[in-house]
Protein backbone atom coordinates (compact mmCIF):
# COMPACT_ATOMS: atom_id res chain seq x y z
CA UNK A 1 0.00 0.00 0.00
CA UNK A 2 1.25 3.46 -0.91
CA UNK A 3 0.28 6.15 1.64
CA UNK A 4 0.76 9.91 1.38
CA UNK A 5 0.77 11.73 4.72
CA UNK A 6 0.05 15.46 4.67
CA UNK A 7 0.82 17.74 7.64
CA UNK A 8 -1.04 20.96 6.82
CA UNK A 9 0.36 24.37 7.67
CA UNK A 10 -0.15 27.90 6.36
CA UNK A 11 3.58 28.47 5.78
CA UNK A 12 4.91 24.90 5.72
CA UNK A 13 2.92 21.86 4.63
CA UNK A 14 4.82 18.65 5.15
CA UNK A 15 4.37 15.57 2.99
CA UNK A 16 5.64 12.05 3.31
CA UNK A 17 5.06 9.07 1.06
CA UNK A 18 5.64 5.50 2.17
CA UNK A 19 5.22 2.02 0.76
CA UNK A 20 3.97 -0.37 3.44
CA UNK A 21 2.62 -3.83 4.06
CA UNK A 22 1.34 -2.66 7.45
CA UNK A 23 4.32 -3.78 9.48
CA UNK A 24 7.31 -2.79 7.34
CA UNK A 25 7.45 0.72 5.92
CA UNK A 26 9.74 2.25 3.31
CA UNK A 27 10.01 5.97 2.64
CA UNK A 28 9.59 6.94 -0.99
CA UNK A 29 9.57 10.73 -0.67
CA UNK A 30 9.32 13.43 1.96
CA UNK A 31 9.55 17.17 2.02
CA UNK A 32 7.93 20.45 2.75
CA UNK A 33 5.82 22.79 0.63
CA UNK A 34 6.89 26.28 1.70
CA UNK A 35 4.81 29.42 1.31
CA UNK A 36 6.07 32.88 2.19
CA UNK A 37 4.22 34.43 5.14
CA UNK A 38 4.21 37.79 3.34
CA UNK A 39 2.19 36.37 0.44
CA UNK A 40 -1.58 36.78 0.51
CA UNK A 41 -3.37 33.71 1.83
CA UNK A 42 -4.94 32.91 -1.54
CA UNK A 43 -1.46 32.72 -3.16
CA UNK A 44 -0.24 30.41 -0.40
CA UNK A 45 -3.30 28.19 -0.86
CA UNK A 46 -2.71 28.08 -4.62
CA UNK A 47 0.92 27.06 -4.02
CA UNK A 48 -0.11 24.24 -1.67
CA UNK A 49 -2.81 23.04 -4.10
CA UNK A 50 -0.44 23.08 -7.07
CA UNK A 51 2.30 21.19 -5.23
CA UNK A 52 -0.09 18.59 -3.77
CA UNK A 53 -1.69 17.99 -7.18
CA UNK A 54 1.77 17.42 -8.61
CA UNK A 55 2.71 14.96 -5.82
CA UNK A 56 -0.59 13.08 -6.17
CA UNK A 57 -0.13 12.85 -9.93
CA UNK A 58 3.52 11.79 -9.78
CA UNK A 59 3.32 9.22 -6.97
CA UNK A 60 -0.28 7.97 -7.29
CA UNK A 61 -0.82 6.94 -3.66
CA UNK A 62 -3.56 4.48 -2.71
CA UNK A 63 -4.61 6.63 0.22
CA UNK A 64 -3.81 10.03 1.74
CA UNK A 65 -3.81 10.63 5.49
CA UNK A 66 -4.35 14.10 6.96
CA UNK A 67 -4.48 15.28 10.55
CA UNK A 68 -7.93 16.11 11.92
CA UNK A 69 -8.74 19.71 12.73
CA UNK A 70 -7.81 20.52 16.29
CA UNK A 71 -8.52 23.54 18.43
CA UNK A 72 -5.73 26.10 18.62
CA UNK A 73 -5.24 28.92 21.07
CA UNK A 74 -5.11 31.43 18.23
CA UNK A 75 -8.38 31.42 16.24
CA UNK A 76 -6.78 33.24 13.30
CA UNK A 77 -4.09 30.55 12.99
CA UNK A 78 -6.68 27.79 13.29
CA UNK A 79 -8.71 29.36 10.49
CA UNK A 80 -5.67 29.57 8.17
CA UNK A 81 -4.84 25.95 8.98
CA UNK A 82 -8.42 24.96 8.12
CA UNK A 83 -8.11 26.70 4.75
CA UNK A 84 -4.94 24.74 3.96
CA UNK A 85 -6.58 21.51 5.08
CA UNK A 86 -9.55 22.25 2.79
CA UNK A 87 -7.19 22.73 -0.16
CA UNK A 88 -5.48 19.43 0.67
CA UNK A 89 -8.81 17.58 0.86
CA UNK A 90 -9.86 19.08 -2.47
CA UNK A 91 -6.62 17.97 -4.16
CA UNK A 92 -7.06 14.47 -2.71
CA UNK A 93 -10.67 14.30 -3.94
CA UNK A 94 -9.70 15.58 -7.40
CA UNK A 95 -7.13 12.80 -7.67
CA UNK A 96 -9.78 10.23 -6.62
CA UNK A 97 -7.53 9.04 -3.82
CA UNK A 98 -8.98 7.42 -0.69
CA UNK A 99 -8.83 9.70 2.35
CA UNK A 100 -8.25 9.05 6.06
CA UNK A 101 -7.85 11.41 8.99
CA UNK A 102 -6.34 10.98 12.42
CA UNK A 103 -6.06 13.09 15.54
CA UNK A 104 -2.59 14.10 16.75
CA UNK A 105 -3.15 11.79 19.74
CA UNK A 106 -3.89 8.79 17.46
CA UNK A 107 -0.78 9.47 15.36
CA UNK A 108 1.51 9.76 18.39
CA UNK A 109 0.00 6.64 19.99
CA UNK A 110 0.46 4.67 16.78
CA UNK A 111 4.04 5.78 16.10
CA UNK A 112 5.52 6.43 19.55
CA UNK A 113 3.13 4.58 21.85
CA UNK A 114 2.51 7.71 23.90
CA UNK A 115 -0.16 10.26 22.95
CA UNK A 116 1.63 13.23 24.46
CA UNK A 117 4.97 12.53 22.80
CA UNK A 118 7.19 15.48 21.93
CA UNK A 119 8.14 16.38 18.35
CA UNK A 120 11.68 15.01 18.73
CA UNK A 121 10.28 11.66 19.93
CA UNK A 122 8.05 11.43 16.84
CA UNK A 123 11.01 12.33 14.60
CA UNK A 124 13.20 9.65 16.21
CA UNK A 125 10.54 6.92 15.95
CA UNK A 126 9.74 7.82 12.34
CA UNK A 127 13.45 7.48 11.51
CA UNK A 128 13.60 4.16 13.35
CA UNK A 129 10.47 2.71 11.75
CA UNK A 130 11.66 3.75 8.27
CA UNK A 131 15.22 2.57 8.98
CA UNK A 132 16.65 6.00 8.16
CA UNK A 133 20.25 6.75 9.16
CA UNK A 134 19.07 9.80 11.13
CA UNK A 135 15.85 11.73 11.82
CA UNK A 136 14.64 14.11 9.14
CA UNK A 137 15.47 17.76 9.76
CA UNK A 138 11.98 18.90 8.82
CA UNK A 139 9.45 18.37 11.62
CA UNK A 140 6.69 18.92 9.04
CA UNK A 141 7.94 16.13 6.77
CA UNK A 142 8.48 13.86 9.78
CA UNK A 143 4.92 14.55 11.03
CA UNK A 144 3.57 13.77 7.55
CA UNK A 145 5.46 10.46 7.52
CA UNK A 146 4.06 9.71 10.99
CA UNK A 147 0.55 10.21 9.58
CA UNK A 148 1.32 7.80 6.73
CA UNK A 149 2.77 5.20 9.12
CA UNK A 150 -0.25 5.57 11.42
CA UNK A 151 -2.62 4.88 8.54
CA UNK A 152 -0.63 1.93 7.17
CA UNK A 153 -0.46 0.31 10.61
CA UNK A 154 -4.14 0.86 11.38
CA UNK A 155 -5.30 -0.25 7.92
CA UNK A 156 -3.35 -3.50 8.32
CA UNK A 157 -4.82 -4.04 11.80
CA UNK A 158 -8.38 -3.47 10.52
CA UNK A 159 -7.83 -5.87 7.59
CA UNK A 160 -6.59 -8.57 9.99
CA UNK A 161 -9.51 -7.98 12.38
CA UNK A 162 -12.01 -8.48 9.53
CA UNK A 163 -10.31 -11.66 8.31
Q: Is 143 a catalytic residue?
A: no
Check if the beta carbon of residue 73 is closer than 8 Å to that of residue 65: no
Q: Is 62 a catalytic residue?
A: no
Q: Which of 7, 51, 139, 143 is catalytic?
A: 7
State if pTM tops 0.85: yes
pLDDT of the chain, 163 residues: tens digit per residue: 999 999 999 899 999 999 999 889 999 999 999 999 899 999 999 999 999 999 999 999 999 999 987 766 688 888 888 999 999 999 999 999 999 999 999 999 999 999 999 999 999 999 999 999 999 999 999 999 999 999 999 986 655 555 4
CA distance 128 to 120: 12
Query: Domains plus CATH for the chain?
Result: 2-162 (3.30.420.10)
Q: Is 67 a catalytic residue?
A: yes
Check if the beta carbon of residue 47 is closer than 8 Å to that of residue 35: yes
Count the neighbouring beta carbons within 10 Å of the beta carbon of residue 46: 14
| Continuous segment of H or E residues that includes residue 12 | strand 12-20
CA distance 80 to 74: 10
Amino acid sequence: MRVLGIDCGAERTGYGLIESDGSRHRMIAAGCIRSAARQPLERRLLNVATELRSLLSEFRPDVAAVEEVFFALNPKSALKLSHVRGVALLAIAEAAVEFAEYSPLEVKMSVVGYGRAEKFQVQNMVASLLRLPEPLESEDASDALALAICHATRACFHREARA
